[in-house]
Structure 1
């Protein structure tokens, strides 16, 4: 039996429950990021039609971004509650900043970049479908047909530019969150007894 009950911890010291929740939120976000970014996207992108892949992404990504944003928010709150500002050392201050950046970037992606990317992609798919495109498997196949569509349809060309811009911004936000969570995991691993 543990000598320190969950509810009784020194002032500023995280309880076992707080440590557990912090680990759950961080590992959930990290696991989702690794799976969605490095595994499922590549598998789906090389095995599904362009429109099926896009449809799945448009349904999957809002949940991914919102759950990640929530996990980042709760990580920051739990860490901040158990690390009062007047007691922070340099490493803890750095970790608070990293957690705050992660929350901000994840929220931007959930509320803006990811949502606009999905909307633009859906608009593009409607145009592609009307031209008999979108059923090719793999994203790089039949690139010439999509380039011709860009040249012949100014609306599609504009959507394509917007998609490139917002998709890049969304991807950079996602990468920033991966880096922030990686740093948080490193900090946590080096301070497992205190978290």
Structure 2
């Protein structure tokens, strides 16, 4: 249902730019850059880059999601919404909320825990191995012999899991929004 006024070209362009920028970042960071870096950088370099890259990605994603919600809500007043438009606003709201929680809590905690673990690993001469799963025995032994490291390892696993679930939730929201937007294009 159209609002009292249809969005102008600038609003439409900004909405599409934010949606596509966030989608592109999500695909690149989630499915490409992490795997490439993990297979070519040592554990600590990879962790250091991720600790700088991921917070920026999460905050940029939150900003893009918020701008999408704001632009869409301005041109779709609540008293004129049909069910699909209301669901689209809900999807944008979920994306904003989940990305903000991920940026402010899970992503930040993951970086802090990983930095603490790297200090312990460096003291034990670990962290220069390349690739996921390389030198597993040494890290398992460190977990067995160092209670603090074992505790940090468990917390890191939990926060990475929660952050990943949030990220996948935002990807799903953006995929739905892309489909909704494509379905509502008048012409290409």
Scaled by the length of structure 2, the TM-score of the pair is 0.97
Say if 2:3 and 2:76, in contact at 8 Å, map to a contact too. no
Question: For each residue in 1:25-60, what CA deviation from the matched residue of structure 2 results, as whole angstroms up to 9, or x when unmatched?
Answer: 000000000000000010001111000000000010
Aligned-pair CA distance for 1:12: 3.7
Say if 1:80 and 1:96, in contact at 8 Å, map to a contact too. yes
Alignment RMSD: 1.3
Say if 1:72 and 1:99, in contact at 8 Å, map to a contact too. yes
Structure 2 unmatched runs, 5+: none
Instruction: Select the residue among 179, 184, 189 that pairs with 2:177.
Output: 184
Distance 1:169 1:10, change over 3 A: closer
Aligned-pair CA distance for 1:192: 1.3
Aligned-pair CA distance for 1:10: 6.9
Instruction: Select the residue among 27, 30, 36 that pairs with 1:37.
Output: 30
Question: For each residue in 1:136-190, what CA deviation from the matched residue of structure 2 results, as whole angstroms up to 9, or x when unmatched?
Answer: 0102100010000000000000000000000100000000000000000000000
Displaced runs of 4 or more, over 4 A: none
Scaled by the length of structure 1, the TM-score of the pair is 0.93
Give the aligned partner of residue 46 of structure 2. 53
Structure 1 unmatched runs, 5+: 1-8
Aligned residue pairs total 186
